[in-house]
Each structure stands twice: as C-alpha cells, then as structure tokens.
Amino acid sequence: MVVLAIGDIVGDNGVNFLMDKLPSVKKFYGADMTIVNAENSAPSGRGVTSASISKVFSAGADIITTGNHAFDSSGYEKIFDETSCLLRPANLAKGIPGRGYDFIDLAGMRVLVLNLLGMHLMGTWSSNIYEYTDSVLSKYPDIPIIVDLHAESTAEKIAYAKHYDGKLSFVFGTHTHVLTADERILPLGTAFITDIGMTGPIDSVIGVNAELAAKKQRYGIPIRFFVEDGPSALTGAVVEIDRHSKSAINIERIRVV
C-alpha cells in the first residue's frame, strides 16, 4: 500500500499548483491513498472554504487534514459538519464541528487517518495527544493508522513518533511549512518525518509576502499578510506500508517544482 502525504496547501497559488501537479505525482508513485493538509487553502491563506476544499478533492485528495487555522474562514461550521473525509484536529474541545479521524477503504483494507494538534507553542487549547492516541488504538488495534501531527515543536513530533513506534504505520508532521530531511523508518516499523512542508509559492516566507513577514518581525506590529505570487513547489512524503504487518517498508520525501 502506497500512501502519499502532501504538505500544507497555501492560498490559490498552492491550490492551483496542486491541481496541476498532483495527478502526475500520484501516477508516478503509484499512490493508493493521498492525504493533503489544506488548512491554509482559502484565498487568504488562512482556513478553508467550500471552493478550496472542493478543488483539493478534485485534484486527487482522498482525505484532507487541517490544523490550528482550520476555523479561520467564515462558514467553517457547515463545511466541517457536512464534508466527509475532511478532518480537523481530534484533540480539540468537545462540541467543535467536524471529526478528528476517518477511514479509507482500500481493496478490502481499512485505514484510519488521525489528525492531531500539538500541545506546545500552538496558541490553541488542545487535549493530550498521547491520551487521545491511546483511546484510538484501543478501539482500532488491528488496522493501519496514519497520523498528521500538526505541531510547531520538532521535539514534540519526534517524541510522539518514537513513543508509538510499531503501533502506528506512518506519522508525519505539518505546520511549519518547511520540509525536513529526517525521513526514516523507526526501529519497530513506523515511518516518520518531522514536517512535510507546504505546497505554495517558493519565493516567500512560508507562503506569504517576505517583506510583510520581515516588517512584522522587525516592528512587532499587527500585519495583514497576503499569499505571495510566483513559481510554486509541492512537497510531502510517500510511504509504502505492508498490508499484513502494517509496518512501513520505505519512506521518501518529495519536492516537485
């Protein structure tokens, strides 16, 4: 089973580039399942819209994950409540619209995709990722589980993956928009990469205009960012998982321009 995970889609730039490149990327790697983080897919680069989600699915996503910006665009309640295979972090407060995990059926195999929000440096309340993961594992011990851990802290993502080595099939980090070069198969068979990066403008600061990002850092004042134009890149990771053992066989980071 080949799983393709694509980093945070940023604005119209990222959405359009995804629609252009994802079909050929899926074909090249023989992807059986494609997960795309789209929490920044709204034209503003923050949140989701019904149009942006529709385009991401039409590009070839089987399931969409999000993160701390999931609810930054208006109308999110209806979008998350009514769209199947669209996830928001599972470890948020009870009563929030949407779902935190869902299933994909692949030729007789059921795969669970879990979306979590990091507990550190995120500025958003979230419950314990370990306790939530334990509860999911107790309910579904016999199927492959893939986790998008949307978190700022690299140490948090690495520690989580090491703790669940052999229990989860694939753990990938999102949020920083920077593709890391630490992809590996952990000793007990879990595929891991700290961050799968972003899909959006190359000549930018994690997707937004560089001068505005520098101005905010220099002066510490509120700035309204906008998504940069120009050439884009698609980044992510592709993992092969053994259908019988649920362990990862291979992992490769990808960057397409």
- List, by residue number, the catalytic residues: 69
d(CA 121, CA 240): 32
Collapsing DSSP to helix, strand or coil, 48 comes out as coil
Tokens 């505005």: give the residue.
212
d(CA 190, CA 100): 21
Distance CA 6, CA 235 (A): 6
Q: How far is CA 197 from the centre of its chain?
A: 9
Report residue 45 as tokens.
């680069």
- Report the C-alpha gap between 110 and 16 in whole angstroms: 30
DSSP 92: S
Nearest to 9, CA basis, from 197, 248, 256: 197
Coil, helix or strand at residue 27: helix
**Residues listed for the chain:** 257
Closest to 193 (Cα-Cα) out of 107, 252, 127: 252
